[in-house]
Structure 1
Amino acid sequence: MKLQHQLNIAFTTLLVLIMGIASIVIYSLILDLLIEDERRQLEQSGEIIVNLMTDQYGSMNIQNFNEVLEQQDLQLFLYDRNQDAVLFSTMSEDIAEGFYRTNDFSDDTEALWEFGGSNFVTSRILFYPESLGLELILLTPMSDISAVQQDFIFLIAVVFLIGAAIAVAISYFLTNRLVTPLTRLKWQMKKIEKRQFDQIEEIDATGEIEEVGQSVYEMAQELQRYIHSQQAFFQNASHELKTPLMTIQGYAEGIKDGIFDENDKEKGLEVMVTEVSRLKSIINEMTLLAKLDSAPEVYDEVEVDLGLLLERVSDRALPIANERGITLIHHADEGLSIMADEEKLLQAMLNLVFNGVRHAHTTVRVEARRSGSAVQLRVEDDGEGVPADMAPHIFHRFVKGKNGETGLGLAIARAVVEQSGGTIQLGNSTLGGAEFVVSFRK
């Protein structure tokens, strides 16, 4: 069953339950109110009669009372409490005797009397002085009240039915507004399943559904970028692996067929060894990058002293810097440390420094400093910087600059930093070249 139908059924069921309970309560309240109202009316009528008769009591006897009561269009008794006797009734003698037999006239707490299978509302008014013991008892059949009650209930039922119809219509409208975005969201998910990323649209909704729809839209965009990056990765990987393999194959076939002299043969062997080393380096870096992306458990976090870390970076990068005539400067504030995998963070920093050495003219500077609540590692050079068209893609795999090697070094550096809970950004150095800023929150 569709969600919209489920919501409508649930809302309608709840509405019926509420209306049923309300009807029972209202029915009971109306009956009590009508009985109480009828008693007040009887009491008012009785007081008028009693006051009239009491004012003239001194000059009237019981017969005079009877004559006055006979003129009233009411069902009533003139009851003598002292004698426990009915002195007069506007009803027939048989009915009056029947009332007297089935009800206790002396019990003034009984509000309802019964006779002939029907109930009657009673109201009692004493004559003054009370020593007379005379009491006027007025009655109204419950059937009269029930008729009024039924009319009132009918009106309430009409109001409830109209309200229920309006409520169901509003329910359908609201659930439709709720379910329609979910249905559209379902179709967007189907498009993601079929990888139709170009057809993904944002969902027009409100509240949490809008947030979910936006998350799905962003997820689709991210999946599209990821798939494109994976495709680019495999294309670039095949290209990077194919080039040295073709070189090795060419020299190997030439040596096998004997088309090279001794000098060319030696040169070919050197090229083959160089290309094999390059292949090994590419494969090692691809393997490391795959592990970084897919196996978080390879990270062994410890407290890393950044001063000692930069010493190790400088010791390993210094030979290459000296070979290229580059001055390598490093500095770390005292007492700086972070939680990270020390060996992998060392690899990331070496990749950044080697990148700087390859592109610098004279100087590469490495620093570790506090910056507010963060710790920053900076690698700067005085080279030509990163071209503007390459800057957005500098951390992607197989993106190489003019002097780049495998194109995986910066991608590995970013993966290590992000896995360690940090961020890495590219900027412009005060030395004139590129600046890589690695930040960790303390």
Structure 2
Amino acid sequence: MRLQYQLNAAFTLLLLVIMAITGFVIYSLILNLLIQDEQRQLEQKGEILVNVLDDAFISRGNLKEFNEFLKEQDLQLFLYDREQNSVLFSTLPTPVVTGLFMNNDFKNQSEELWSYGNEKYVTSRILIVPKSLGLELILLTPLQDLRIVQHNFIQRLLIVFLIGAIVASGLSYFLTKKLVTPLSRLKLQLKKIEKRNFDEIVPIESSGEINEVAQSVYEMADELQRYINTQRSFFQNASHELKTPLMTIQGYAEGIKEKVFNQQEEEKGLEVIVSEVNRLKKIINEMILLAKLESEEITYHTERIELQNLIDKVIERAIPIATEKNLELKHRIEPNIFIVGDEERLLRAMLNLTFNGIRHGNSTLLITGSLKRGQITITIEDDGEGISEELLPHIFHRFVKGKNGETGLGLAISRAIIEQSNGKIKAENSNLGGAKFTLTFPFKE
């Protein structure tokens, strides 16, 4: 069953349950309310009758005149003598009077409903002043009259419920259709993603949580498309990076085998073969390391690392290369800053970034570390040529190399290590003129 029909069915069932419970409660309460209201009305009528009578008029000597007065009232009532426990007068037929008197206790003041046969009566009792007379006026209304009112009220209520149910069902259909339609359209976009037709994806009009889901789907599609393009580029670049040294090795090896080189050329060829083998070995090792980092196969030994000590180790390892290139290493690190991570992995990431800066810098490499607004910020910047605008968005992709780059995997490895350490890395151009890499880590006490 489609979602729209399921929502409509659920809403309609819920509405029917609520209406049934509401109707049952109202049906149960309405009769009690009608009885209470009828008793109040009978009491008011009885009090009016008693108040209009004169003290001289009401006496045991002139009951005949009093009875005549009561006959003129369009009411069902008794004139009851409490002292003698007898009915002195009634506007009801004699069989009904006899039946009521025989089946009910007239002396019981708390009995509000009297029964006779299949009929019940609502009663209201008013004591006639002066109390010494011992007379009581009892007014009655058949319960059947109230049931007729109850049934009429319930019929009208059912009509209202029916109209309300029709209107509510219409609104439910409209709202669920408005809710489900974007989901159906989003389903079509997901089918396009499944078939990798990323260029055919179009935004859908929606709001609320559905809009958030749709936005997440679009972002997922963009990321998936980027990933597929990156993988395609990776295989192309990897094949190129591996093919070039292999062809060089093959060429020299075949030349040496066929004795086409003299001794000096053979020695040079062997040196080239060894160099290319080492280069291949480095590329393969870095590819394996990057694959492990991205698949989380490497176990991280996290610990508290003082940033000053970490940078000192980076400087110690980078000084020989910087000195060889006549490049000055500068660093400004705030004290008492600690990073939680794997020291060996973080050291490798920092060295990759530092060697990259030394390779591209002209005279200066600056490393800074500070704590601001609850996060640790580390910058590594040089005064070289910087990063081109075309290369900047892809600088951390695998086999993406700038000028004088080596394997094109160093920055990708650095990013993987930093992200595994709950950090972030960003590349931009520095005020010094070269590249600037900014690393941020959460600060923990």
TM over 0.5: yes
| Counterpart in the other structure of 1:126 | 127
Deviation of 1:330 (Å) = 4.3
Contact 1:291-1:298 within 8 A present in 2 as well: no
| Counterpart in the other structure of 2:24 | 24
CA distance change for structure 1 residues 375 and 54 in 2, over 3 Å: closer, same or farther? same
| Counterpart in the other structure of 1:380 | 381
CA distance change for structure 1 residues 362 and 39 in 2, over 3 Å: closer, same or farther? closer
1:65-84 mapped onto 2 (5 Å cutoff): 65-84=66-85
| Counterpart in the other structure of 2:272 | 271
| Counterpart in the other structure of 1:220 | 221
CA distance change for structure 1 residues 92 and 358 in 2, over 3 Å: closer, same or farther? closer
Contact 1:54-1:127 within 8 A present in 2 as well: no
| Counterpart in the other structure of 2:259 | 258
Contact 1:77-1:87 within 8 A present in 2 as well: yes
Deviation of 1:340 (Å) = 2.1
Q: How many percent identity over aligned positions? A: 58
| Counterpart in the other structure of 1:338 | 339
State the AA in 1 paired with 2:205: D
RMSD: 2.3
CA distance change for structure 1 residues 311 and 190 in 2, over 3 Å: closer, same or farther? same
1:23-422 mapped onto 2 (5 Å cutoff): 23-55=23-55, 56-57=57-58, 61-295=62-296, 297-371=298-372, 373-422=374-423
Partner SS, residue 397 of structure 1: coil
Contact 1:378-1:438 within 8 A present in 2 as well: yes
1:305-357 Cα offsets, whole Å, 9 max, x none, are 33333333233333333333333344544444322222222222221222122
Taking the aligned partners of 1:377 and 1:52, their CA distance within structure 2 comes to 102
Deviation of 1:203 (Å) = 3.9
Taking the aligned partners of 1:382 and 1:69, their CA distance within structure 2 comes to 118
Partner SS, residue 33 of structure 2: helix
Q: Which runs of 5 or more residues in structure 1 are unaligned? A: none
Partner SS, residue 365 of structure 1: strand
Count of equivalent residues = 442
CA distance change for structure 1 residues 102 and 289 in 2, over 3 Å: closer, same or farther? same
Taking the aligned partners of 1:116 and 1:365, their CA distance within structure 2 comes to 108
Deviation of 1:394 (Å) = 1.6
Contact 1:54-1:128 within 8 A present in 2 as well: no
Partner SS, residue 388 of structure 2: coil
1:182-209 Cα offsets, whole Å, 9 max, x none, are 3333333333222222233334333222
Deviation of 1:371 (Å) = 4.5
1:112-157 Cα offsets, whole Å, 9 max, x none, are 1111210111222222211111222222211222222221111111
| Counterpart in the other structure of 1:14 | 14
State the AA in 2 paired with 1:320: I
Partner SS, residue 104 of structure 1: coil
1:361-414 Cα offsets, whole Å, 9 max, x none, are 233333444455443333232222222222222222111112111111111122
Quick check: 295-304 or 402-411, which moved more? 295-304
State the AA in 2 paired with 1:222: E
Contact 2:392-2:428 within 8 A present in 1 as well: no
Contact 1:126-1:135 within 8 A present in 2 as well: yes
**TM-score, structure 1 length as denominator?**
0.92
Contact 1:310-1:331 within 8 A present in 2 as well: no
CA distance change for structure 1 residues 47 and 302 in 2, over 3 Å: closer, same or farther? closer
Deviation of 1:59 (Å) = 10
Taking the aligned partners of 1:207 and 1:358, their CA distance within structure 2 comes to 50
Partner SS, residue 57 of structure 1: coil
Deviation of 1:296 (Å) = 5.7
State the AA in 2 paired with 1:266: E
Taking the aligned partners of 1:46 and 1:378, their CA distance within structure 2 comes to 98
CA distance change for structure 1 residues 94 and 239 in 2, over 3 Å: closer, same or farther? same
**TM-score, structure 2 length as denominator?**
0.92
Partner SS, residue 114 of structure 1: strand
Taking the aligned partners of 2:361 and 2:278, their CA distance within structure 1 comes to 25
Deviation of 1:273 (Å) = 1.3
CA distance change for structure 1 residues 138 and 396 in 2, over 3 Å: closer, same or farther? same
